[in-house]
Amino acid sequence: MILPSYDGDGFANLIASCIAAAGGVPRHPTARLAPPGRLAQARNIVLVLIDGLGHEYLCERGQGGALAGNLAGRLTSVFPSTTATAITTSYTGWTPFEHGLTGWYTYFSEIGGVAAPLPGKRRGTESALSGEAARAIYRAPSLFDTLERRAIVVTYRPLVESSYNRHHCGRAERRAYDKLAGFVAETEAAVKSGDDAKFVYAYWPEFDTTSHRYGVESVQTAVQFAAIDAAFADLLARLSGTETLIVASADHGFIDSAPDETLELEACPAVAALLREPLCGERRVAFCHVLPGKTTEFVARARAWLGGRAEVRESSALLAEGWFGGGVAHPRIAERVGEVSIVMRGRHTIKDWLPGEKRFLHIGNHGGTSAEEMYVPLILAEA
């Protein structure tokens, strides 16, 4: 298992460095490989986040390209190594322990059930959360509101007006794009939109989307990566002479899982019977909300069923050991991660299904503690 770093070698520390370099006050140690003093020397800081681009994949596939050519090192993701958790850290500077968004699916007592915080939908019904419900579950304030530099967020058009995005962008200007060429053009336009010093946050989601659908080892993902690498080179050329430092990284990496490596909860009714809520978190890391007084029994049954395919532990131990980071604890963090955590080993995943849910399985997965999922690149390129 690769456990997350929060003391200088992790994704959360990179965000702390960006905050400090842009005139804010970070909540956590800054990144050793990206000291704020170096970042602050640039007139413009551009944080490029390529969703899903793992360090291991970049080193294997990127030789000779612009991304690998500017690779400064590697960082760990947060835990779990997933978009909902890491991107919230990137928008706020808060650790998962603080912001409390602990996976694609999270149990929220504020709404009395399980929801996906990124799209803002309840699990099972897919109904949208009300504005009041969204405000209740998005606790952490936007880091952009704390910066001395002008802040601009460049993101995919279908995401730009979501409740999640509006909350976490705060007072930052928001620019939308539709395709990869638009991502480059809007990022360039943001940098060149005035003579003032800027912090630009630019997010590209399609590497993640392609890796989920076809697998990270697929031809389709290789084509997507080549396009991103070329776009990064184009962005560097367009920003030449603007006194810009591009800091590129990712929220997590990927592994591929075969259908026979997926364990379905319905195959073990003795374990399922002890749950009071559906599984939360991710297919690679499941947070289990157990019936009162049944935690010890649940752990024993789950270990007997899963054997060496998973680590089954009480979630309180993971919290105490710092897997979710430190800081001021979210007041509901314990209930967000349930009584028991199932951390899958190898390439195994775990899944449950609710009535009416469409049954499909992604080939590419993340959230776990393998090197492929946990290590993300740190890329530093001056323009």
Could you state, in order of their start, the residue ranges of all structural domains in the chain?
A: 11-97+130-256+369-382, 259-365
- The pLDDT of residue 130 is 87
Helix, strand, coil abundance in the chain, percent, nearest 5: 35, 25, 40
- The pLDDT of residue 193 is 97
pLDDT of 134 > 90? The answer is no
Separation in Å, CA 71 to CA 184, 241, 268: 20, 21, 45
pLDDT tens track for 274-305: 999 999 999 999 999 999 999 999 999 999 99
Return the CATH number of the domain spanning residue range 11-97+130-256+369-382: 3.40.720.10
Strands 44-50 and 198-204: parallel
Separation in Å, CA 253 to CA 55, 58, 216, 371: 7, 10, 9, 8
Q: Kindly indicate the confidence band of residue 127, based on its pLDDT and cuts at 50, 70 and 90.
A: confident
- The pLDDT of residue 76 is 98
Range 262-282 average pLDDT: 97
Distance between CA atoms of residues 70 and 369, nearest Å: 26
Average per-residue pLDDT in the chain?
97
Q: Kindly indicate the confidence band of residue 28, based on its pLDDT and cuts at 50, 70 and 90.
A: very high
pLDDT tens track for 306-326: 999 999 999 999 999 999 999
Architecture of domain 259-365: 2-Layer Sandwich (3.30)
pLDDT of 107 > 80? The answer is yes
Neighbours of 313 (CB within 10 A): 17
**173-187, 238-252, 355-369: which has the minimum mean pLDDT?**
355-369
Residues 166, 153 contacting (CB under 8 angstroms): no
Placement of tokens 């409740």 in the chain: 163
Bridge partners of 155, per DSSP, are 176
CA dihedral 337, 343, 344, 349 (to 10 degrees): 0
Distance between CA atoms of residues 30 and 12, nearest Å: 8
Q: Kindly indicate the confidence band of residue 358, based on its pLDDT and cuts at 50, 70 and 90.
A: confident
Task: Let me know if the fold of 11-97+130-256+369-382 is the same as that of 259-365.
Answer: no
Range 207-234 average pLDDT: 98
pLDDT of 126 > 80? The answer is no
* Torsion angles phi and psi, residue 197, rounded to 5: -70, 135
Separation in Å, CA 355 to CA 109, 124, 352: 21, 7, 10
pLDDT of 203 > 80? The answer is yes
Instruction: Label residue 240 exposed, middle or buried (CB < 10 Å: 0-12, 13-18, 19+).
Output: exposed
